[in-house]
Amino acid sequence: MGNQAMNEFVRHTSALYTNEIEHGQILQCPLCGKRFSGSINISNFENHVNKCLDSGVSANKPENMQDTHNNISLGIQRLDSAVFSPIQKNHQQPQLSPKLQHVRNNLNSLRVSWEQSYVNLQVSREDLFVDSLQLILGFSEQALRSEFHIQFKGEQAQDAGGLTKEWLNLMIKDLFSDNFRLFHLTETEEPKYTFIRNSFDPDLYTLTGKIIGKAILENIPLPCSFSILTLKHILNQKITNDDIKHISTDLFNSMKYIESHNIEGIFYETFSIIEDNGQIYDFIQDGRNIQITEETKEIYINLRAEYELKTSIEQSAEYFNKGLYSVFPKDIIIDLTPEELDFLICGTSNIDINEWRKFTLYKNEFNDKHIVIKWFWEVLGNLSQNELRDLLTFVTGTSRVPPEGFEGLKTTRGEPAQFTLEPMPWFSGALPRAHTCFNRMDLPIYRNRFELRNAILQVIQNHILGFGLE
């Protein structure tokens, strides 16, 4: 049994151990099989399990808990999907290039100081999208560059940045959902978001541009990685037929096949396409009745590429850009590559535990040697990337690491705010509290690692957001 599978097994049965100890039942070590009476202290039981882990004892698990970790099929994954894979301990720490740092400095210079001006947004969670749409579309350039203070109707929490991050992420979740049909994932090995063909809604695309522009300005990474084609449209860069590979691997291969093979007798398409709404679009006049031949296939390839890469999405891109560049001028980012712009928008989704720990601050009695802190990092070391992203969302308000890495965590006012752990008293049922405005977690002084692990999993699995917000 692999180390990851063994740790997963122990983690998923830890709640059962705690429950059995509390009820005085006989326990059995999940690794070596040793049995203990119900009177054993939970710390002693945990120490025994830890020794088994450290000595590499194979798990003596029930037959119905099969080890499938070595047989997971990792095909194409949707964006930010959960993948059980080892944490990449040696993942290179992300850094801003001089060019990106220059862009960041220019963006920071545009921000309106909260002392000069700020904007109050009162929205309800039930009608978040409608309330926000009416407000944001009417904002001036200065308002968009000012500090937002989000107030959720009926809630007491005051926004010092955390609610703004939550609001931005909730808006992105809505705008990129299937409900609005603005974006869809590409049919490529690594799916990314791109405009849906002929999905023309000026207000919604303009709103999306404004929301993403505001997040870029505030240096708040978002979980919406765009395709290279979409990024080229944003940057107004040259688009070629080769860019079809960024929206559909199958279509790209099909076009390549037509280009390099004689299609007489094997290809019976016409100069038209059936659109998503069921309507037929002709590439040329009466194209639906004109069959493609060996002599005309090059014309077809160029017309099909023109449709897929420009005609069917250029209006959507135009209104998206209208919204984006109402927050800051195009000149600030125009020299970026598509990859650099993606990094600026999204940061990085991979979470490096070593880097996270390196740039963590401790308050009061906490330090890197404190037993609760040791347990904390041991628990995080056994979480999947998806679970780590959920925990990061809980404590910072976003699932992504900024382009500067964990060292670059800041408040929405641009002040340094590295991840901080502060102790709080333990009581029965105590859960960690998050202060997303300041990237701080109040961590109870748990009695053992099992309690700590169960609490972390509880806030992750129940997606406890807004708990303890300041």
Question: In this structure, is residue 369 part of a structural domain?
Answer: yes
- Residue 255 inside a domain? The answer is yes
Which has more pLDDT, 268 or 40? 268
Q: Is residue 81 part of a domain?
A: no
User: Is residue 458 domain-shared with residue 356, that is, in the same domain?
Assistant: yes
pLDDT tens, residue by residue, 293-326: 999 999 999 999 999 999 999 999 999 999 999 9
Mean pLDDT of 233-237: 97
Whether pLDDT at 276 is above 90: no
Q: Are residues 403 and 459 in the same domain?
A: yes
Task: Tell me whether residue 314 is in a domain.
Answer: yes
List 29, 52, 224, 437, catalytic entry? 437
Q: Please check whether residues 392 and 317 belong to one and the same domain.
A: no
Contact between residue 392 and residue 383 where contact means Cβ atoms under 8 Å apart: no
The pTM for the full model equals: 0.70
Question: Do residues 269 and 302 share a domain?
Answer: yes
Answer yes or no: is 359 within a domain: yes
Which CATH number is 239's domain given?
A: 3.30.2160.10
Q: Which residues, 6+ apart, have CB-to-CB distance to 310 below 8 Å?
A: 239
pLDDT digit string (tens) for 339-398? 999 999 998 888 899 999 999 999 999 999 999 999 999 999 999 998 999 999 898 888
Q: Sorting pLDDT into bands at 50, 70 and 90, what band is 410?
A: confident
Q: Quick one: pLDDT at residue 200?
A: 80
Final residue before a domain boundary, out of 33, 52, 75: 75
Average pLDDT over residues 80-88: 27
- 403 closest CA partner among 79, 98, 83, 80: 98
Tell whether 331 and 355 lie within a shared domain: no
Q: Which helix (H) or strand (E) holds 261?
A: none
Tokens 């303890």 appear where?
468
Last-in-domain residue among 24, 42, 75: 75
Average pLDDT, the chain: 81
User: Which pair of tokens denotes residue 93?
Assistant: 């720490």
Q: Are residues 329 and 355 in the same domain?
A: no
Last residue within a domain, chosen from 23, 49, 75: 75
Same domain as 358, residue 237: no
Domain count of the chain?
Answer: 3
- Mark whether 228 and 322 lie in a shared domain: yes
Q: Does 388 share its domain with 447?
A: yes
| pLDDT band (50, 70, 90) for residue 12 | very low
Convert 45-71 to b/e letters by CB count within 10 Å (16 or more is b). bbebbeebbeeebebebeeeeeeebee
pLDDT score recorded for residue 283: 95
Q: Which domain, by its residues, includes 392?
A: 349-470
The answer to whether the CB of 341 falls within 8 A of the CB of 230 is: no
pLDDT tens per residue across span 160-204? 778 898 899 999 999 999 889 999 999 999 999 999 998 889 999
In a domain, 365, yes or no: yes
94-108, 138-152, 335-349, 415-429: least confidently modelled range: 94-108
Q: For position 95, what pLDDT does the model report?
A: 59
The Cα 313–Cα 388 span in angstroms is 35
Question: Residue 144 falls within a domain, yes or no?
Answer: no
Q: Are residues 191 and 323 in the same domain?
A: yes
Tell me whether residue 52 is one of the annotated catalytic residues.
Answer: no
pLDDT classification of 34: cutoffs 50, 70, 90: low
Decide which of 89 and 136 is more confident: 136
pLDDT bucket at 107, cuts 50 / 70 / 90: very high
The CATH number for 467's domain is: 3.30.2410.10
Question: Does 308 lie in the same domain as 188?
Answer: yes
pLDDT for residue 241 is more than 80: yes
Task: Supply the pLDDT for residue 266.
Answer: 86
pLDDT above 70: percentage of residues in the chain: 78
Distance separating alpha carbons of residues 413 and 12, to the nearest angstrom: 40
Q: What is the mean pLDDT of residues 79-93?
A: 30
Residue range 140-155, pLDDT digits in tens: 999 999 999 998 888 8
With contact defined as beta carbons under 8 Å apart, do 360 and 376 qualify? no
Is residue 128 over pLDDT 70? yes
Are residues 405 and 276 part of one domain? no
Specify if 101 maps to a domain: no
Q: Other CB atoms closer than 10 Å to residue 164's CB: what's the count?
A: 23
